[in-house]
Amino acid sequence: MKTTLRSGLLALALSATGFAAQADITVYTAGPASLAKALAADFTAETGINVNLYQATTGKVMARLKAEESNPQADVVISASWDTATAFADQGLLMAYTSPNAQNVPDFLKSDTAVAQGVAALGIAWNPNSGTPKPTEWADLAKDDFKLMVTMPDPAASGSAYELVSGLYANGQGELFDKLAGNGALVAGANKAALTPVLQGAKAAVFGAVDYIALGSKATGESIDVIWPESGTVIAARPMMILKSTQNAEDAKKFIDFVLSDKGQEEVAKVYLMPARTDIKALRPTITELKQLPKSGTEAGSRGEVLDMFTKAFGK
C-alpha cells in the first residue's frame, strides 16, 4: 500500500515539474527507410516522444497488421497505396482526424481518416547504356527490343506498383501484362529488387518503377533515366492513418501534424517524393506536370481480384 502511494506521489511530482515520461508511439511505414528514420528522429527531437519504427514493404506491413489483428501494436500506419486507406476506413479501423497542417493538401489527397505523407508517380526506369531504344510508352517494353530485358515490381509486395496495375486494368490495358509475360518480363519482388538489375546492366528497364527511387539513384550518378509515358501514368499517394485501436491518440495526432509541418514536408521532398502540401517545393516533376491515365469510370476490382488477374497473366 505504501509502495503504491509513494509511486503515485512520485508520478504527480514529475508531472508537476514537467518531467513526466512521454508515451512512445509505434509507426508502421512502407517506403524509404531514410525518410522514416529522419522523420522519427526529428519528431522525437521536437516533442520528446519516442517513435518505435517498423519500416518494410507495403506487403510486409500489411502482413504484420494482419497477424496482430487481435492485439494491435501500431498507432500510425503509412502505406504506399491509397487503397489501404480506403479498405481500412471501410472496415472501421481508422480514427477520424484532420490535421491543422493539412490546409494546403489538395482535397483528393486527404479524407476524414487519412492524409497523404507524400506522392510518387509510376514510370519507366531505363538504363541508357543498355543498347535498347529509349521507350516512350508502356507498350514499348513488350516489344522485341526488350525481350528478356524488363523487370517490374510485384504488386503484391509494392503498394505503388499495385496502383499502376490496378489503374491499367481499369483503363482496359490489362493485355499489357499478358504481353509482358510473353516477352519474358521478370517480376522481381518489391521496388528496389526490380530496379537493381537495371542499374547493374543485367536488364534494360523497369515497367512501373516507383519514380522517387529511380530519381534518387540518378541524383547519385547512376545510369538511369525516368520516363513517364506519354499516354499517362498513375500517382501513388502515401496515406498516413491513425488506427482506432491506438492507446496514444494525442501523440499519434502530433506525429501526423509534424509530418505535415514545413520541416516534415521538406524531409519528404529530399527523397524525391512530391510533398503532399502544394506550398512546399518539390525536387522533381509534380502532379500538375505529369499526365495521368484518363479516368475510365470503372474499377478494376478488389485488391484480391486485381492481384489474381496479374498472377494469371504471369502464370505464377
Predicted local distance difference test score (pLDDT) of residue 185: 97
Considering only CA atoms, give the Rg of the chain: 21
Can you give the pTM of this predicted structure?
A: 0.85
Predicted local distance difference test score (pLDDT) of residue 2: 40
3-state secondary structure of 14: helix
- Residue scoring higher pLDDT (21 or 46): 46
126: amino acid identity, one letter: W
Name the range with the highest mean pLDDT among 7-16, 159-168, 261-270: 261-270
CA 150 to the chain's CA centroid: 23
Q: Residue 151: beta bridge partners?
A: 186, 206
The distance between the two most distant Cα atoms of the chain, rounded to a whole number of Å, is 81
For residue 208, give the nearest of 181, 184, 190, 182 by alpha carbon: 190
- Measured CA to CA in angstroms, residue 77 lies from 19, 81, 124, 240, 242 at distances of 28, 11, 28, 6, 6
CA 295, 300, 301, 302 dihedral sign is: negative
Predicted local distance difference test score (pLDDT) of residue 48: 96
3-state secondary structure of 244: coil
**Sequence-ordered alpha helix ranges (H) in the chain:** 2-16, 33-47, 58-67, 82-90, 159-170, 175-182, 191-200, 211-219, 249-259, 262-270, 303-313
| CA 9/CA 13 separation, integer angstroms | 6
Q: Which three cell numbers stand for residue 196?
A: 537493381
Given pLDDT bands bounded at 50, 70 and 90, which one contains residue 316? low
List domains and CATH numbers for the chain: 22-119+236-284 (3.40.190.10), 120-235+289-313 (3.40.190.10)
- Measured CA to CA in angstroms, residue 94 lies from 31, 86, 246 at distances of 20, 10, 9
Q: How many CB atoms lie within 10 A of CB 25?
A: 28
pLDDT in tens, 126-175: 999 999 999 999 999 999 999 999 999 999 988 889 989 999 999 889 99
pLDDT at 60 over 80: yes
Calculate the average pLDDT of the chain: 90
| CA 38/CA 292 separation, integer angstroms | 30
Average pLDDT over residues 251-269: 98
